Amino acid sequence: MSAPVFHNIVDGREAASLSGRTFENRNPANRSDLIGLFQDSGPEDARCAVAAAEAAFRSWRNVPPPRRAEILYRAARILTERKEQLARQMTREMGKVLEETRGDVQEAIDMALFMAGEGRRLYGQTTPSELPDKFCMTVRMPVGVCALITPWNFPMAIPSWKILPALVCGNTAVIKPAIDTPQSCWSLVQILHEAGLPPGVLNLVTGGGPEVGEALLGDPRVRLVSFTGSTEVGRRVSQACAPAFKHCHLEMGGKNVVMILDDANLDLAVDGCVWGGFGTTGQRCTAASRVVVQQGVYHQFLERLVERAGALRVGDGLDPATQMGPLINERQLRRVDEYVRIGQAEGARLVCGGRRLEPGGLAAGWFYAPTVFAEVDPGMRIAREEIFGPVVSVIPYRDLDQAIEIGNSVAYGLSASVYTRDINAAFRAMREMYTGIFYVNAPTIGAEVHLPFGGTKETGNGHRESGQAALDHYSEWKSIYVDYSNRLQRAQID
């Protein structure tokens, strides 16, 4: 049986790549499972998509925002009706367990509902003028054509974070999903068209970053770029946007910390660290890859964490008994294994995992054992660099000041967490941690769509996904003055 072929979506129609080339999309839990063939597009395909978006912008920007929002409401309804089908499709494509892919689809539903609501709340301000007979107000304007470049770990949620606020603000867009997980984004784009999105407003082009991504970055018709991925690539995106002063939103790496105090509820803390460290096989920018534990409970906590991590059932995410799925590809598996060897060479004590899993039918996929290092020094590479896999470093500390110092010592600043019953300690940590997200008695993952999402330092460049904060990236402010005095008034001079 031949594999289905998925085309680009340009100007509301399916289009093959101009080169005629395709690439395979395979199940990371079973490499023999071919999901489909996707277009291996090139720069000219990207330029055609931008042309369609530019043409559509002229009319879409003038559609009243509440009317744009109605399309998002309809899309939310369709997503809800097909949630289970889309979740199963995503598990087969990306590997994470069904419970998580259902959450991924739900996040797209939530974002559609939230941003649809913003269609009636694209508020500006009215303010008194300093002069008589003069009226002042502000309004939001769309930016123009947006290039959206998304990763593979949340293949529907993250595209929804970018697409939906862009559309409700009146922009048009071209999205390039990751080549490892194009189908989930393709389905989202198709559903938005089914909900009534006009042709050309949203276009999808699949292919590699050097071919499609670079073409989008360099196209002068693109006025905004939103990128989620590694800090290394994000730096190149920023440099490419700078000469033309394009709006540039970057959501990049993380090396997140959980701080556990002596008075913490250890059962709750272990639950949080297992979920934060091994959920999505550790392939989250918010993964809890560092756990710093106060000396009084260090050994007790470590024993419980190792027991729980070692007992996790690893396998195909479509199996209801599976608790952790595969890594996304062979390259990522090799990266994780290389960091495990680095940790051992640095002198950290490997207490759990540290190997590829192949027996019992797992050889057909990219499975790696949940891995825990103990007695990790904060200066070790495994405690400072993003691994993006199921590897957790446990670090002992003396007091809260040292825990905060360790937490802030890395180049990233996305998410942090503290487990304690001491409200004073919780508020001190909340204040002192220089991260974009902070949790008390919860793991470093679990963001909600109505709050801003993003980080500091090498995690981001000051913009945020989600919530009303996202609107500030996808719109421009215009200040308007209406003088009805029928005479010249010179602001501060008069």
Q: What is the pLDDT of residue 372?
A: 98
Q: Which CATH number is 241's domain given?
A: 3.40.605.10
Question: Would you call 87 helix, strand, or coil by DSSP?
Answer: helix
Q: For 122-139, how does the pLDDT look when each residue is reduced to its tens digit (9 = 90+)?
A: 999 999 999 999 999 999
Would you say residue 207 lies in a domain?
yes
Query: In this structure, what is the dihedral angle of CA atoms 109, 179, 84, 95, given to the nearest 10 degrees?
Result: -120
Same domain, 299 and 227: no
Same domain, 132 and 90: yes
Walk across the sheet containing 247-251 and list its strands.
13-15, 8-10, 202-204, 172-176, 145-149, 222-228, 247-251
Same domain, 304 and 236: no
Would you say residue 402 lies in a domain?
yes
Q: For 76-85, how does the pLDDT look when each residue is reduced to its tens digit (9 = 90+)?
A: 999 999 999 9
* Pair type for strands 257-260 and 415-419: parallel
Q: For 33-52, how does the pLDDT look when each residue is reduced to its tens digit (9 = 90+)?
A: 999 999 999 999 999 999 99
Distance separating alpha carbons of residues 199 and 12, to the nearest angstrom: 4
Distance separating alpha carbons of residues 219 and 50, to the nearest angstrom: 8
Same domain, 233 and 269: no
Check whether 1 has a pLDDT greater than 70.
Answer: no
Distance separating alpha carbons of residues 222 and 216, to the nearest angstrom: 7
Same domain, 80 and 222: yes
Q: Which residues pair with 175 in a beta bridge?
A: 148, 204
Q: What is the pLDDT of residue 266?
A: 98
405 has catalytic annotation: no
Q: Which CATH number is 300's domain given?
A: 3.40.309.10
Distance separating alpha carbons of residues 448 and 439, to the nearest angstrom: 12
Question: Containing H/E element for 174?
Answer: strand 172-176
Same domain, 274 and 177: no
Q: Which residues pair with 418 in a beta bridge?
A: 259, 440
Q: Determine which one of 285, 386, 458, 465 is catalytic.
A: 285
Would you give the end-to-end CA distance of the chain in angstroms?
80
The count of C-alpha atoms lying within 13 angstroms of the C-alpha of 206, restricted to the half-sphere facing its C-beta, is 32
Inter-CA distances, 119 with 69, 116, 179, 296, Å: 5, 5, 32, 52
Q: For 458-489, how does the pLDDT look when each residue is reduced to its tens digit (9 = 90+)?
A: 999 999 999 999 999 999 999 999 999 999 99
Q: Determine which one of 54, 100, 107, 251 is catalytic.
A: 251
Same domain, 308 and 281: yes
Same domain, 284 and 347: yes
Would you say residue 450 lies in a domain?
no
Amino acid at residue number 299? H
- Which of 98, 111, 106 is CA-nearest to residue 81? 106
The count of C-alpha atoms lying within 13 angstroms of the C-alpha of 380, restricted to the half-sphere facing its C-beta, is 26
Same domain, 261 and 248: no
List the alpha helices (DSSP H) in 32-156: 43-60, 65-81, 83-94, 98-118
Identify the band that residue 359 occupies on the pLDDT scale cut at 50, 70 and 90: confident
Distance separating alpha carbons of residues 120 and 68, to the nearest angstrom: 10
Same domain, 405 and 347: yes
Would you say residue 451 lies in a domain?
no
Same domain, 385 and 356: yes
Inter-CA distances, 286 with 281, 321, 386, 400, 432, Å: 12, 25, 10, 22, 19
Cβ 12 vs Cβ 203: under 8 Å: no
DSSP class of residue 402 equals: H
The count of C-alpha atoms lying within 13 angstroms of the C-alpha of 461, restricted to the half-sphere facing its C-beta, is 20
146 has catalytic annotation: no
Q: For 191-205, how does the pLDDT look when each residue is reduced to its tens digit (9 = 90+)?
A: 999 999 999 999 999
User: In the block, which residue shows the tokens 């890395």?
Assistant: 410
The count of C-alpha atoms lying within 13 angstroms of the C-alpha of 423, restricted to the half-sphere facing its C-beta, is 0
Locate 62 and state its tokens.
């003038």
Distance separating alpha carbons of residues 426 and 36, to the nearest angstrom: 49
Locate 234 and state its tokens.
């994000």
Q: For 246-274, how does the pLDDT look when each residue is reduced to its tens digit (9 = 90+)?
A: 999 999 999 999 999 999 999 999 999 99
Range of the domain at 289: 257-440
Same domain, 195 and 282: no
Would you say residue 156 lies in a domain?
yes
Would you say residue 489 lies in a domain?
no
Distance separating alpha carbons of residues 437 and 452, to the nearest angstrom: 9
Inter-CA distances, 398 with 75, 260, 297, 492, Å: 51, 11, 11, 58
The pTM score is: 0.96
Please state, for a pLDDT cut of 70, what percent of the chain lies above it: 100
Q: What is the pLDDT of residue 494?
A: 82
Would you say residue 281 lies in a domain?
yes
User: Treating both helix axes as pointing N-terminal to C-terminal, what angle do 98-118 and 83-94 enclose, rounded to 10 degrees?
Assistant: 120
Number of structural domains, the chain? 2
Would you say residue 395 lies in a domain?
yes
